[in-house]
Structure 1
Amino acid sequence: MDFGASMFFTDYSMTPAALGRALEERGFESVWAPEHSHIPVSRKSPWPGGGELPKRYYDCMDPFVSLTAAAAATTKLKLGTGVCLVNQRDPIQTAKLVASLDQLSGGRFLFGIGVGWNQDEMENHGTAFETRAKLTRERIEAMKEIWTKSKAEYHGEFVNFDPIMAWPKPVQKPHPPILVGGAFPQGARRALRYGNGWIPIAGRAPLHEVLERFRQMAAEAGRDPAGVPISTFGAPEDPDEIKRFRDLGMSRTVVSLPSEKEDTILPILDRWAELIRRC
Structure 2
Amino acid sequence: MKVGVTVPNFGPAATADSLRAWAAVVEDAGFDFLMVGDHVAATPDVTAAYPGPFWEPLTLLGYLAGVTRRVELGTTVLVVPHRDPLLTARSLAGLDQLSDGRLVVGVGVGWAREEFAALGVDPARRGEITDEYLRALLALWADDVVSFTGRHVAFRDVDTRPRPRRRPHPPLWVGGNGAAARRRAVRFGDAWHPLRAPAGWLRATGLPALRAAADEAGRPVPALAPRVVLHPTTERRTDDDRLTGEGRPDQIRADLDELRELGATHVLLDTHRDAASAARDDHADQRALVEDAARWLSPS
TM > 0.5 between the two? yes
> 1:168–1:15: structure 2 CA closer, same or farther, 3 Å change rule?
farther
Confirm whether residue 27 of structure 1 aligns to residue 30 of structure 2: yes
Structure 2 equivalent of residue 207 of structure 1: 202
Confirm whether residue 240 of structure 1 aligns to residue 236 of structure 2: no
CA distance in 2, matches of 1:232, 1:150: 33
Confirm whether residue 128 of structure 1 aligns to residue 122 of structure 2: yes
Give the residue type in structure 2 aligned to 1:252. Answer: H
CA distance in 2, matches of 1:229, 1:20: 26
Give the residue type in structure 2 aligned to 1:68. Answer: G
Structure 2 contact 144–163 (Cα < 8 Å) conserved: no
Structure 1 equivalent of residue 234 of structure 2: none
Q: CA deviation at 1:266?
A: 3.0
Give the residue type in structure 1 aligned to 2:182. Answer: A
Q: CA deviation at 1:204?
A: 4.8
Structure 2 equivalent of residue 71 of structure 1: 65
| Higher deviation after alignment, 195-204 or 59-68 | 195-204
Match of 1:157 among 151, 160, 168: 151
Unaligned runs of 5+ in 1: none
Matched length: 268
Structure 2 contact 72–104 (Cα < 8 Å) conserved: yes
Structure 1 contact 19–70 (Cα < 8 Å) conserved: no
Structure 2 equivalent of residue 267 of structure 1: 288
The alignment-based identity, stated in percent, is 28
Q: CA deviation at 1:218?
A: 1.5
Structure 2 equivalent of residue 89 of structure 1: 83
| Higher deviation after alignment, 173-182 or 10-19 | 10-19
Structure 1 equivalent of residue 43 of structure 2: 40
Which runs of structure 2 are paired with 1:98-113 in the superposition (5 Å)? 98-113=92-107
Structure 2 equivalent of residue 145 of structure 1: 139
> 1:194–1:55: structure 2 CA closer, same or farther, 3 Å change rule?
closer
Structure 1 runs, 4 residues or longer, greater than 6 Å off: none
Structure 2 contact 5–269 (Cα < 8 Å) conserved: yes
Q: Deviations over 1:182-221 (max 9, x none)?
A: 1131211110111111111133581112212312322332
Structure 1 equivalent of residue 267 of structure 2: 253
Structure 1 contact 79–110 (Cα < 8 Å) conserved: yes
CA distance in 1, matches of 2:61, 2:225: 19
Unaligned runs of 5+ in 2: 230-244, 247-251, 273-277
Give the residue type in structure 1 aligned to 2:3. Answer: F
Structure 2 equivalent of residue 220 of structure 1: 216
- Give secondary structure in 1 for the equivalent of 2:269: strand
Structure 1 contact 34–81 (Cα < 8 Å) conserved: yes
Structure 2 equivalent of residue 6 of structure 1: 6
CA distance in 2, matches of 1:137, 1:204: 27
- Give secondary structure in 2 for the equivalent of 1:266: helix
- Give secondary structure in 2 for the equivalent of 1:37: coil
Give the residue type in structure 1 aligned to 2:5. Answer: A
Q: CA deviation at 1:96?
A: 0.9
CA distance in 2, matches of 1:20, 1:170: 23
Q: CA deviation at 1:272?
A: 1.6
CA distance in 1, matches of 2:296, 2:186: 31
> 1:104–1:60: structure 2 CA closer, same or farther, 3 Å change rule?
same
